[in-house]
Amino acid sequence: MRLNLQQQNLQVAFIKGLPFTSVNEHGDKADGIEGKLLSTLAEYFNFTTSFIDCLDDFGALKSNGNWTGLIGKIFNKVNMDSI
């Protein structure tokens, strides 16, 4: 049985670093190992992606309990409109 996500847009937080991940300057196409895997999954499950560049910040836990960087964006469900 194939899951059809009906072109739902999934946001993907990433950190540039070939050979794993790179995104073009328009932010609409990923390359590298993870980019190709994501593209294959998107085609198979019928979804689109938008990318959130975390600017080489994986994230750290701050003393107030909040996360920074990539983990913070995922944890806080940051969307593209707020960047």
Domains of the chain, with CATH numbers?
A: 8-82 (3.40.190.10)
Q: Give the pLDDT score at 22.
A: 85
**Coil, strand or helix at 7:** coil
Phi, psi for residue 67 in degrees, rounded to 5: -100, 150
| More confident call, 35 vs 73 | 35
> What digits encode the pLDDT tens for the residues 22-50?
888 777 788 899 999 999 999 999 999 98
Amino acid at 63: S
pLDDT class for 4, splitting at 50, 70, 90?
very high
pLDDT of residue 14 exceeding 70, the answer is yes
Of the chain, the end-to-end C-alpha distance in Å amounts to: 37
| More confident call, 79 vs 44 | 44
Q: What is the pTM of this model?
A: 0.71
